[in-house]
């Protein structure tokens, strides 16, 4: 399952951001995953809690936003692609070899936990 290695990479990136912010902890991460990225969102979500154990992201929620594939049709311009239809315009069937979006895997947002008052 390569989603576990992806989860570990996301945790590394997010942990570095947290260190840069004074060692804060995160309550949630939002990740943008393209429909054409070959990442299975459910598998990534399932792998995340185990990968986050012992890190500043332990207990954090992973939100996955799926980004649809958009190709460039020579006739219709940007069109939303269906994975079943491949890299072809859903309106005219023309090849759309240029993928404008849908192959990304991006850490989009880190939600920080509120710091606990001292003595609590």
Distances (CA, A) of 118 to 27, 52, 99, 115: 19, 25, 51, 9
Nearest to 51 by CA among 79, 13, 108, 9: 9
pLDDT at 116 over 70: no
Task: Judge if pTM exceeds 0.85.
Answer: no
Residue that wins the pLDDT comparison between 53 and 118? 53
What is the sign, positive or negative, of the torsion defined by CA atoms of 84, 87, 89, 95?
A: negative
Element (H, E) at 47: helix 41-52
Per-residue pLDDT of 76-100, as tens digits, reads 999 999 988 889 999 999 999 889 9
Round the average pLDDT of the chain to a whole number and report it.
91
Terminal-residue alpha carbon distance, the chain: 41
Report domain extents, the chain. 2-68+102-112
Element (H, E) at 49: helix 41-52
- The top-level CATH class assigned to 2-68+102-112 is alpha beta
pLDDT at 1 over 60: no
Is 16 in a helix, a strand, or coil? helix
């Amino acid at each position: 399952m390569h989603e576990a290695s992806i989860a570990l990479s996301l945790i590394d990136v997010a942990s570095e951001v947290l260190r840069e912010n004074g060692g804060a902890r995160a309550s949630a991460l939002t990740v943008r995953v393209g429909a054409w990225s070959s990442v299975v969102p459910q598998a990534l979500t399932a792998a995340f809690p185990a990968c986050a154990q012992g890190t500043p992201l332990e207990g954090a929620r992973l939100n996955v936003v799926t980004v649809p594939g958009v190709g460039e049709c020579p006739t219709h311009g940007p069109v939303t692609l269906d994975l079943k239809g491949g890299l072809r315009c859903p309106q005219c069937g023309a090849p759309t070899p240029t993928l404008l979006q849908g192959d990304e895997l991006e850490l989009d947002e880190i939600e920080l936990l509120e710091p606990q008052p001292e003595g609590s």
